[in-house]
Amino acid sequence: MERIKLKFARGVVVEFVDRELGIKRVEEWAARGTRFVQLVYGPKGCGKTAWLKQSAELLRDWGYDVIYVNPLQRDYVAYINLKEVVRRLAEAAAERSGVAEIKLADLAIQLAKYALKRRRKKIAVLADDVFKAIGLGNAAGYVKWMLSVIEYPPGDYESAVAVVATSGEGGGGVSLRELSKHRWADLRVMWNMSQGGFKQLYELLPGQKPSFEVAWRLTGGNPSALAKLYEENWDVSKVVEEVVVKGDFSFLQTWRSWLEEAVEDPDVLWRVDAPRELVERLVEWNFIVFNLPKREPWLWVDAPPPEADREIGVGRYVAWQTPLHREAVRRALGGV
């Protein structure tokens, strides 16, 4: 499998590194097909898109027709010998109107169905960050529709792989757990990179940089956080400020005492008496991931995070998406 090239930061292109287990997981899917839609969620910027695009290469090598869409980025990949499919994706991606995003999301499924009928071949449909494009209220319908295509395909086919990726739980409007409860989807979490993988990425960065230990402590292995710090010349305050503007910090002041505890140990938010409103907001803002599954490898796409690692803000049940998010809250509370 050829490793894809990724635009990492201004002027820096890197080759896809690590994610050995995440790649192995896709190989398992490629070998057997996916019975249900695989719904992958994880912190913003943890590397879902990079992994999905690398997966597109892998699936092609396994003889799959591959359709990948990322509506928000107007991006697509079509490894398929059907001109009609490529043309329609290209047209939708080039469209400048507001409906282009919805169109791309819908086309992924429509064209997968069309391809199954025409080609009677293995098909992989990879939908990246589609819920934001179609509206969270339509997420369940989308996943059900995708399932119906792989479950009751038009005509015979060898095998199908269906994956939907999304960051966090997306604002409470869609309950990912609800989708998996109905067995339309298997919920799988992808975490930030493991220390070993993250080190490989860190080594690729040119120029002056802080020690690896510092980079790890600041980012918790989140590659996007690493890219931001690199672009801002490792000015932590500047990067934290960017996070701060996304939150409503007068709201946070209301929950000061809970948050003071949560920056030390995010699992306090798991307590039965923790305020729902606060938890929901932190999830919605992509500050925390709530309800982390057991660290059983099969529940995770790649290596799970440690059981609990206070240094990078990971608890057993709740984790800060990155230490930078925790730092933003800490600063907002005035405890710099």
Ligand X SMILES: Nc1ncnc2c1ncn2[C@@H]1O[C@H](COP(=O)(O)OP(=O)(O)OP(=O)(O)O)[C@@H](O)[C@H]1O
Q: Is 233 helix (H, G, I), strand (E, B) or coil?
A: coil
**In this chain, which stretch among 41-49, 154-162, 275-283, 297-305 interacts with ligand X, using CB under 6 A?**
41-49
Q: Name the residue type at position 131.
A: F
Residue with nearest beta carbon to Mg ion: 49
- Picked from ligand X, Mg ion, none, the partner binding residue 78 (CB below 5 to 8 A depending on kind) is none
Is residue 138 near Mg ion by the rule CB under 5 A? no
Residues 46-75: x where in contact with Mg ion by CB under 5 A, - otherwise, as a string: --xx--------------------------
Cβ-based nearer residue to ligand X, 150 or 201:
201
- Picked from ligand X, Mg ion, none, the partner binding residue 106 (CB below 5 to 8 A depending on kind) is none
* Minimal distance, residue 258 CB to ligand X, in Å: 26
CB 72 within 8 A of CB 133: yes
**Helix, strand, coil tally for the chain in percent (to 5):** 50, 15, 35
Cβ-based nearer residue to ligand X, 267 or 302:
302
Instruction: Write out the binding residues for ligand X, residues 199-238 only, by CB under 6 A.
Output: 201, 223-224, 227
The token pair that represents 227 in the structure block: 């890219």
* Minimal distance, residue 51 CB to Mg ion, in Å: 9
Compute how many other C-beta atoms are within 10 angstroms of the C-beta atom of residue 152: 7
Bridge partners, 69 (sequence order): 76, 127
Tell me which residue of 109, 103, 35 sits closest to 67, measured CA to CA: 109
Residues 160-179: x where in contact with ligand X by CB under 6 A, - otherwise, as a string: -------x------------
Tell me which residue of 167, 151, 156 sits closest to 118, measured CA to CA: 156
* Minimal distance, residue 335 CB to ligand X, in Å: 28
Which residues fall within 8 angstroms of residue 243, CB to CB, at 6 or more apart?
Answer: 324, 325, 327, 328
Distances in whole angstroms, Cα of residue 270 to Cα of each of 5, 41, 42: 39, 19, 18
Instruction: Write out the binding residues for ligand X, residues 50-79 only, by CB under 6 A.
Output: 50
Cβ-based nearer residue to Mg ion, 261 or 284:
284
> Exactly one of 47, 304, 313, 323 binds ligand X (CB under 6 A); which one?
47
Tell me which residue of 312, 262, 264 sits closest to 290, measured CA to CA: 262
The 10 Å CB-count burial string (b at 16+, else e) for 20-55 is eebbebbeebbeebbebbbbbbbbbbbbbbbbbbbb
Could you tell me the sign of the dihedral formed by the alpha carbons of 16, 78, 108, 183, in that order? negative
Cβ-based nearer residue to ligand X, 159 or 224:
224
**In this chain, which stretch among 15-23, 169-177, 245-253, 311-319 interacts with ligand X, using CB under 6 A?**
15-23
Is residue 101 near ligand X by the rule CB under 6 A? no
* Minimal distance, residue 197 CB to ligand X, in Å: 7
Is residue 305 near ligand X by the rule CB under 6 A? no
**In this chain, which stretch among 9-17, 140-148, 231-239, 326-334 interacts with ligand X, using CB under 6 A?**
9-17
Distances in whole angstroms, Cα of residue 228 to Cα of each of 17, 99, 222, 239: 18, 30, 10, 7
Contact set with Mg ion (CB under 5 A): 48-49
Binding residues for ligand X, rule: CB under 6 A, are 6, 8, 14, 16-19, 44-50, 129, 167, 201, 223-224, 227
